[in-house]
């Protein structure tokens, strides 16, 4: 008997958990079946392309979340300071303070990078790009803004590695706090000395 009529949309977050837990290769259909409570028939009904389509759907879901919760605030917040602060809050929430890994980061390091190249590179490109833009709006020049953005986005990935390696969420929180203070200090400093700001559409 059919247990419950599911919707494709509801399955994706569970798929994400399975992929995060076992990786792409390790996420077998039997484990996916176990996690979702759906048989292969239902899974292939929702995702005719099989496992690859499931992973692609998960990546699209992640991208959507970050677009709305991270990049948009970064681009449209009242001030660069608020946008960057909101970004760090969202990131800590998302990764459960280091208890959850970044699937895109895992894919980037593994063989999956080539198969999902666009989603993987786009995720980090959008993130670092939006952050660099906010830093520029905060008064930084182009190159240091790009460098600091890369340092922050890469730093989050490194913090996740250490937190997993040591099974210690505290190291994640500690490293994020350092990154946050460094990024906000740059903005705050330029805000405190407005005469040092470059002309930004002073109309």
Partner DNA sequence: GTCTATAAAGCGATAGAC
Partner DNA sequence: GTCTATCGCTTTATAGAC
Q: How far is the CB of 57 from DNA (least distance, A)?
A: 13
The alpha-helical segments, DSSP class H, found in 116-168 are 117-137, 142-166
- Cα 58 to Cα 126: distance, rounded to the nearest angstrom: 17
Largest CA-CA distance found in the chain, in angstroms, rounded: 71
15 forms part of the interface with a copy of itself (CB under 8 A): no
- Cα 166 to Cα 156: distance, rounded to the nearest angstrom: 15
- Interface map 73-102 toward a copy of itself (x if CB under 8 A): ----------------------------x-
Residue 91's binding partner among a copy of itself, DNA, none (Cβ under 5 to 8 angstroms by kind) is none
154 forms part of the interface with a copy of itself (CB under 8 A): yes
Within 8 A by CB and 6+ apart from 89, the residues are none
Q: How far is the CB of 65 from DNA (least distance, A)?
A: 23
Residue 201 has what DSSP assignment?
-
Q: Which is nearer to a copy of itself, 88 or 123 (CB)?
A: 123
170 forms part of the interface with a copy of itself (CB under 8 A): no
């Amino acid at each position: 008997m059919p247990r419950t009529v599911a919707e494709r949309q509801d399955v994706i977050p569970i798929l994400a958990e399975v992929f995060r837990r076992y990786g792409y290769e390790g996420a077998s259909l039997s484990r996916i079946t176990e996690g979702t409570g759906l048989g292969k028939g239902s899974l292939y009904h929702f995702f005719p392309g099989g496992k690859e389509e499931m992973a692609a759907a998960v990546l699209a879901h992640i991208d959507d979340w970050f677009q709305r919760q991270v990049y948009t605030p970064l681009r449209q917040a009242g001030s660069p300071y608020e946008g960057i602060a909101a970004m760090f809050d969202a990131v800590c929430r998302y990764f459960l303070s280091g208890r959850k890994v970044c699937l895109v980061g895992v894919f980037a390091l593994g063989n999956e990078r080539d198969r999902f190249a666009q989603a993987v590179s786009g995720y980090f490109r959008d993130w670092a790009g939006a952050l660099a833009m906010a830093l520029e709006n905060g008064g930084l020049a182009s190159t240091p803004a790009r460098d600091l953005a890369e340092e922050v986005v890469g730093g989050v990935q490194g913090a996740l590695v250490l937190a997993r390696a040591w099974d210690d969420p505290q190291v994640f929180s500690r490293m994020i706090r350092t990154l946050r203070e460094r990024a906000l200090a740059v903005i705050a400093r330029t805000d405190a000395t407005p005469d040092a700001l470059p002309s930004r559409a002073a109309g």
